[in-house]
Amino acid sequence: MERKRESEISVISVTSENPSSFRLFRFLFRAFILCAPIIINFPINGKPQPRQPRVGRKYTTLERLEPERLRAVREERLRYQSSRKTPTLITGFEDYRAIMHAHAEDSSHTGGTRSELLTAAKQAGVRIILLSDHVRPPRDFISQSWHGIREGVLFIPGAESEGFIVHPTRSIISSYTNKNWKTRDGYIRLVKQDGGLIFLSHVEEKLDWGTAELDGLEIYNHHTDFMDEGEFVLWLRGSFTNPERLKRVQQILTEFPMEVFGASQDYLSQIIAKWDRDLEVQSLTGIAANDCHHNQVFTINAAGPDAIVISIVGDPPRKVTAQQSPQITEMVKDRKEGDLIARLDFDPYERSLSYVTTHILLRKYNEKSVREALKQGHAYVAHDWLCDPTGFAFIAERNDKQRAIMGDQVILEKGLRLRLAAPVIGTIKLFRNGIVIGESKSDKLIFNLNEAGVYRAEVWLEIDGEQRPWIYANPIRVVNENTKQTKTKREYETNENNETNEKA
């Protein structure tokens, strides 16, 4: 996420319209430091209004951060993980965990490096990383990035630019510098020539943008999800000058790092609604944006007998004195100038890479196949942190023969049916043209088709009494025989592997 717009903000606004969560986070942090004397008595009046209803929630994020809640979430997700069974529905494709929208070494506000990202990928079982550098000419986000397989992880360079995630097949930096395109469509064409990929990014800011020429959009973006976390941000900000609360934050972060990371997880209804609307007229691959930077790292050091210094990646350190916040005296007691009081690291890559991923279905593990799969929608989005979804399948079949996988288009014929298989039992929601047409608690689903439409599925898990979105399948488009195919889709290619078989 760019941070240009931060400097334009000069008032404190908890229910900010500010488009980026971490912009908000950083902004609030900065506002605190700059306005400390005022802020100390700044009341948290009620709760900031969430931007949209929080589907499936029972608890606020602060409630989710209570140790007993975190412990319950931990136990529940371990229970799911230990009971999982890889689905036996064979599709002929391998399921690869991929990270899209990843930042490393691309800006002053990115704290992480590419080698750190690689290490984390290996830990998290991620085999594909699509880098999305902030564009900083003359630095070339294609030729000066990582490209190809390194230690078993395939890197595809790209950028976050002009509202999109772009992965051109060759350098476009000179066109970029010279602004060789005149319109948004011109930019899309520039990226797409020779097989480049382009996805709409931070969709919450672009609900009215056209998507006809795009390969897809981010149906989940971690930053977007964080945007309505004003209450948590205020609470965290307060902990920097409150020794008792700071200790609590350190404790939960040490004991439940992944659960703390996942505490803000929500379903982004507005974005999903746009996806459903646009899907009615064209194909559009839903992907997950990690938007990881490894930059939510707060360091608090003693600065003499009555002050502390608070540092965050990409910002100059800020000093807060005991006059501004009396409890600072207690925090610096028995400490020397420069002593570390606390370091809170919320988003190391291994954590963000374990949180949400795009699973890509491939027959061959190479860049060409990844690009093709992402264009076709042979992919699904999953919150892997809740339970490993690997092997999840959503297909159309007829007479026990597979006719389509996620992302494909298939002609409606008598006997055509949808099948879904997940590694654990959850709430399966089947959608037709954006409307739920069936909901069941199971790890599998069979649905006889007798109507054309765009069919997609979600699987939700019950975690500590709440419903959390877990898997978002890309749609299968069922068309009548005389309907023209949508322009970006090919009919499902048949090959010797596409029969539906059950594993022994």
User: Which residues of this chain interact with Zn ion, rule CB under 5 A?
Assistant: 1, 160, 291
- The minimum distance between CB 132 and Zn ion, in angstroms, equals 6
- The CA-based dihedral angle spanning residues 315, 331, 25, 99, taken in that order and rounded to the nearest 10 degrees: 80
**Which of residues 19 and 56 has its CB atom nearest to Zn ion in the complex?**
19
**Considering only CA atoms, which of 415, 483, 425, 493 is closest in space to residue 454?**
483
What is the CB-side half-sphere exposure of residue 356 using CA atoms within 13 A?
31
- The minimum distance between CB 472 and Zn ion, in angstroms, equals 20
- The minimum distance between CB 293 and Zn ion, in angstroms, equals 5
User: Which residues are registered as beta bridge partners of 426?
Assistant: 442
- The CA-based dihedral angle spanning residues 375, 353, 348, 69, taken in that order and rounded to the nearest 10 degrees: 130
- The minimum distance between CB 244 and Zn ion, in angstroms, equals 33
**β strands within 38-193, DSSP E:** 89-90, 94-102, 128-131, 133-134, 148-150, 153-156, 159-161, 164-167
**Which of residues 158 and 262 has its CB atom nearest to Zn ion in the complex?**
158
- The minimum distance between CB 158 and Zn ion, in angstroms, equals 11
Separation of first and last alpha carbons in the chain: 47
**Which of residues 105 and 276 has its CB atom nearest to Zn ion in the complex?**
105
**Which of residues 166 and 302 has its CB atom nearest to Zn ion in the complex?**
166
**Which of residues 355 and 460 has its CB atom nearest to Zn ion in the complex?**
355
Question: Three-state SS for 114?
Answer: helix
**Which of residues 108 and 174 has its CB atom nearest to Zn ion in the complex?**
108
DSSP string, 421-461: EEEEEEEEEEEETTEEEEEEEEEEEEEE--S-EEEEEEEEE
**Which of residues 346 and 460 has its CB atom nearest to Zn ion in the complex?**
346
**Which of residues 198 and 445 has its CB atom nearest to Zn ion in the complex?**
198
- The minimum distance between CB 253 and Zn ion, in angstroms, equals 22
- The minimum distance between CB 388 and Zn ion, in angstroms, equals 26
DSSP 301: E
> Tell me, what amino acid is at 115?
S
> Tell me, what amino acid is at 273?
A
User: CB–CB of 261/351 below 8 Å?
Assistant: yes
